Structure 1
């Protein structure tokens, strides 16, 4: 192995078979095929990049420029189109936290975080696909051909990345660890399923591609229906990560331990309400999800951060939720970099209090949309009787 290829493989992370998810459960043929496909795509990306470095006489890749949100929020010119296309990997995806205003240079990483190339985290890949779809009408003939080629490859990438059961990992090809979990965190599932739904109706794609996207969307919806966490015999909402095979809740980083999540759950419920309310199992999921959010909303308070800490302070009319809730008693929980669980946000280090959104208000938008669907609410009567009257979190 050459020096440059060894360097590249090291930064890609551990091989897929090093992830515990794939070692603690028997693998059916479709999962075995999925994992082998991931290995092959990773090798494809590696080989092409290694070839590029060798041709340039480089033994170390050049760093890619960093940006919080890619340096742009849409493609508005031919130059920006060329730059975004230059960062697409051979496998078909894009990276995150990378400035895509200027074209990738030969020998340069395709992303500012080499181990995360490509990924769905922080809306990467889904953003670039949407940019290309939106820019297509104003592109000239030659540019349209390039966009179509890129979109074809990107859609194939999405279809390949989806688990056989309908979930999606955080990064693909797989790289091990919690990144291989079925990821709801930071709206990965919401972004991808919403995109697939739009692709299924977009004239930019062939009838076959539209059907593939529609089927992929439906598999994702059924994954969500099955993954809802059941506590004491009743459905609730979701956790940020689920085991890709068993769908059981799993942890990610030390300050993201196993817990029910309010924000991602609210976004997913809104997606189901708007795009899949008639699919099997979805209505029941919506009923219990809405009730869970109603039970756990914190009213007439806002979360205030200062240089010395944070606190909930009175403010009439405000509604929010803690980011995480314990699976044991469904009360707010908070995590620090030591991996410990705390019941009060002020028990965290100042760095974690200020560096993470421990209270959020995404649930309000879903409950507002849900209130406009009385025909669906009326069918929730058995669920409401089973749960009893909703109680609000303190």
Structure 2
């Protein structure tokens, strides 16, 4: 139990945090929070302060007020960890809280008083494959490491999995970033496959021999966390006029209702990220209560929404269009929940029914058409017994 003084200090911080105008889309001030949710927020803030304190300690030790910038790089500047030096460099960018940041070059070791990530609002995060990628890279390299380095890799992976377990909301969902960063980052996030990658990681940690270096207790917790997330998916699959469909890109952390993220990510059903989660359910949880019904309903919806005999192409300026190609199918990334029709959004926040109506910048900078659903439907159609059931 917290002492009275610590509790008072925490409540003072929480009140300031909840009402800070800098935190847009603040889900935490909409209704009174239970003690379980308050404890979750307190834990998040403690970890956020831990990350800040480490940087401050390094500055003090060096006698400098300067914080060095981290370099940007797509996919961390690496394809995999192939040697001991790369493993050490990647581990050096692990935050004290236990995660990694996105779009950050990790080819060279992090220097004292250097940011852990190139984008402050994503330090650390699960967005853009961050944290989950590093866990798999380290586990894959582990057999090649020396005994001394294996011990450090084990500790690094343990810290990362512990962070993922702590990040899970009391209802089973996951935020995009943790410790929490505020705004839409706190939404339960399917976008860019964040939730899919977290569930894939939890399953592999619990079942894959690559993670035998971890304790049985931690692996059991990962398995429990996986099924808690499955329960969240089953409870929040969107029902339209009595029919189960798929999910939205972002859901409210408490209510589970679809929510807006960026202006070009309005409330809508999302095909691609839903399909990845459906593949995962098909592979790992099809016998779990309620999953077969959810998967079959979503498969029917995706089958209905495919754009038949079309392929999406870009011109030299990045403009998107659909061309005829017999046998090829695509899906719009977003579908209006009410009408079920494809929808597209620009930075003005307006809704458009044709991708050609978007600015060239948004046509070029976003994947408005996707094909992930084809892979899921192919696997689903091979499960004849499931379809009959």
For the criterion TM > 0.5, the same-fold answer is yes
Residue 56 of structure 1: CA displacement? 1.5
Who is 1:323 aligned against? 333
Please give the alpha-carbon distance, in whole angstroms, between the structure 1 residues aligned to 2:149 and 2:17: 37
Who is 2:5 aligned against? none
3-state SS of 1:221 partner = helix
Pair 1:148 & 2:148 matched:
no
3-state SS of 2:321 partner = strand
2:78 to 72, 75, 89: 72
1:334 to 344, 359, 382: 344
Residue 287 of structure 1: CA displacement? 1.0
1:376 to 350, 365, 386: 386
Pair 1:280 & 2:289 matched:
yes
Q: Which string of whole-angstrom CA distances, capped at 9 and with x for unpartnered residues, describes residues 269-298 of structure 1? A: 000000111112111110110000000001
Q: Is the 8 A contact 1:16 1:174 kept in 2?
A: no
- TM-score normalised by the chain length of structure 2: 0.92
Who is 1:157 aligned against? 163
Pair 1:101 & 2:107 matched:
yes
Q: List runs of 5+ in structure 1 lacking aligned partners.
A: 1-13, 380-394
2:240 to 231, 240, 250: 231
- TM-score normalised by the chain length of structure 1: 0.91
Residue 51 of structure 1: CA displacement? 1.1
Q: Is the 8 A contact 1:322 1:358 kept in 2?
A: yes
3-state SS of 1:200 partner = helix
Q: Is the 8 A contact 2:334 2:342 kept in 1?
A: yes
Q: How many residues align?
A: 366
Segment of structure 1 superposing worse, 23-32 or 296-305: 23-32
Segment of structure 1 superposing worse, 349-358 or 262-271: 349-358
Please give the alpha-carbon distance, in whole angstroms, between the structure 2 residues aligned to 1:355 and 1:114: 21
Residue 17 of structure 1: CA displacement? 6.1
Pair 1:363 & 2:373 matched:
yes
Please give the alpha-carbon distance, in whole angstroms, between the structure 2 residues aligned to 1:58 and 1:331: 56
Q: Which string of whole-angstrom CA distances, capped at 9 and with x for unpartnered residues, describes residues 219-249 of structure 1? A: 0111111111111121110000000100000
Who is 1:7 aligned against? none
Please give the alpha-carbon distance, in whole angstroms, between the structure 2 residues aligned to 1:29 and 1:225: 25
Please give the alpha-carbon distance, in whole angstroms, between the structure 2 residues aligned to 1:133 and 1:166: 25
Q: Which string of whole-angstrom CA distances, capped at 9 and with x for unpartnered residues, describes residues 27-58 of structure 1? A: 12211110110011111111111111122122
Pair 1:37 & 2:27 matched:
no
Q: Is the 8 A contact 1:84 1:128 kept in 2?
A: yes
1:52 to 40, 58, 69: 58
Who is 1:303 aligned against? 312
Please give the alpha-carbon distance, in whole angstroms, between the structure 2 residues aligned to 1:204 and 1:372: 35
Q: Is the 8 A contact 1:15 1:176 kept in 2?
A: no
Pair 1:196 & 2:202 matched:
yes
Which consecutive aligned stretches of 4+ in structure 1 deviate over 3 angstroms post-superposition? 14-19
1:241 to 231, 234, 250: 250
Name the Cα RMSD after superposition.
1.2
Residue 263 of structure 1: CA displacement? 0.2
Q: List runs of 5+ in structure 2 lacking aligned partners.
A: 1-15
Who is 1:184 aligned against? 190
